[in-house]
Chain A
Amino acid sequence: MTTKTPEQINEDLLRPLEGTSPRYLAALTFFVLVVLAGAAAFLHQVYAGLGVTGLNRPVFWGFYITDFVFWIGLSHAGTLISAILRLSNATWRRPVTRCAEVITVFALSIGAMFPVVHLGRPWLAFWLFPYPSERGIWPNIRSPLLWDFFAINTYLLGSVTFLVLPILPDMALVRDRTTGWKKKLYHVLSLGWTGTPRQWSRLEMAMRIMAVAVIPVAVSVHSIVSWDFAMAPVPGWHSTIFAPYFVCGAIFSGIAALIIAMALLRKFLHLEDYLLRIHFENLGKLLLVMSLLWFYFVFAERLTTWYGNGSSEMAVFWPTQSGSYAPLFWAMVVCNFVIPFPILAIKKLRTIAGTVVASIGVVIGMWLERFLIIVPSLSHKYLPYSYGSYRPSFTEIIITVATFAGLAMLYMLFSKIIPIISVWELKAGEVTETATAPALARPEQVRAD
């Protein structure tokens, strides 16, 4: 990294907060319009009922649950990766962590929205909450769907906290550099941060505790999401491998999303001096490991099913290998393994552009994977007379597309309000690296020794 003075770091990282370019406004307007289209589609669904979707017997979980699993998985980009890098004291993490943590909070919020979108009567969503009910209708604590409620809320709380706490010193920084209503806003947002040793040491300790706490929570969240499926005796779902398989897939898609987000931030916010090739290369290596691990899980799961040769399992297996779902299945394999593996394994190809191409493939592939887990199993349950199919409606497609636009919109707004790279952590990193790096002896000194 090029050594920058603290003042240069301040200027570079606070620049995106200062003004908005026409290009930014145009992109934001586009995403807002797509989100509004999604909101309109949802309102139409609320008014007309779930009949406007493609959901019908026997496939009652379609795009919405696919989106739910996908977004919850994508949320593993941030907090989990950030917590691991913090605990392992990886110094290269500093420009990356906040970009990642923001994805977690927004992706998790979008994911948590989908069970409500999926409800026929969303205004009764509170029936899912475990609270003393005067109606005598009690939520079933044995249902994995209720476990989701606890797991997602705990993870959301942990992730928001993990994101917000290290933002406080940066809020104080912005507070001191702004005037008028902005100063008042950042004055409130900084929660009275002044930077005393007491505040710094408490913040460091809180972040350490949060990092320790949030890793098992992140693992539990996607395990529980997998149990939404694995607890049901449905062919293709009832598998002990599902929890680690889902966690692996979640981290896989999370890293891919992070790489794409970082590349976009680097380009549009001109952060070339901070988000360096080394960051993409290191994350690319992680993505390569996850790609191999994902392939191993898929192979193990498919092999066990094929070897078992149970009739109900094979009724799901063959349509995905050579039947109507085969194009999607093989597209998934291409996106998640065939494309990323060579790009990420060959050092020359593991460039910024290369990792981004691989990541785009992975995000598409992981969405397909979620779809292929859900729909083929539901459309081929035990009794052949109940076999069916599923075709998403326009409403579902619009809402799905709107969530991607929603993430982009939220990310853009966030990067205009809060520095997307942690300024104080970066400066502290620069100081630490300068202070701890041993001075290299000159060649003539070595020869003299």
Chain B
Amino acid sequence: MEQRIIEIGESFTKELNIVKNSKDLENIRIKFLGRNGLLSQLFEDFKSLPKEEKPKFGQTLNVLKNDLQNNFDIKLNEVSASEKSEKSFIDFTLPGKTKSKGSKHILIQTLDEIKNIFKGLGFSVATGPELESDYNNFEALNFPADHPARDMQDTFFVNPDFLLRTHTSPVQIRTMQKYAPPIRIIIPGKVYRNEAVSMKSYCLFHQVEGLYVDKDVTFAELKGTLVSFAKQLYGNDIQYRFRASFFPFTEPSAEMDIWWQPSGKEGRWLEILGCGMVDPNVLKNVGIDPEVYSGYAFGMGVERMAMRKYGINDIRNYFDNDKRFLEQF
């Protein structure tokens, strides 16, 4: 028995020393430490020893078992560490395999932001055609023919009766013709102005308009709604003011300014939108009785909003679609 204990100890050490990889190591484990391994056999034999010899060999056997296990563990750590570093060396500094990221156009992202605020306030979203009739774009909205009010919006005409819409307001007319009040919509979309292309202006831009027609709609409610909108978009601590203004399709009309304080520059009032109570003539034109119903409308340009927010100084960036621009948003 004693001899076998010594022999097993020695051959374990010998074999362990020449181990090269985890596979060799596993073989050693099975041979010596496995369920049917040499060590197990020794313990098996130990059971049949005479009672008086048991204490002597029992101790020796336990020492052997601990030794083998300890040495095996040490070797196992060595082997697995070296295998890891050999086999799976990863250069984390190599560039990753990137694919195109993709994004919505920044103007659409800004429109979404505005849309979501108003959807939260109970507004639906309506759209309409870009090639419109003069009636829907002007007449129905209380712009008389040959009135200087038409100069407020330089227009691309296709013929005297059809034009590229100068605002999304014709969708107000279309919606009021289609549905009875209450009507609560916002209208995002492309609109056109006959202006020379420059840093500050382009022949088209994006607009969002809102319309709410119901019983007892008031200017105070318009103001409250727009203040809530502006705070959601620009922050709760904005300073704002409403200024009297003129739009043919609203009466009274106003423009909303917020105090704009660019860092390091002089602050100023900045117009962010136009609004007002729907002119009774407009309601009459779509067959809604202005004595029973009232409404408010508002509108804002998306390009300028995004220019301010992101510090874009040339409006043409939006329509050049340079990938280096697109990737930034």
Do they bind each other? Answer: no
Binding site for B on A (CB under 8 A): none
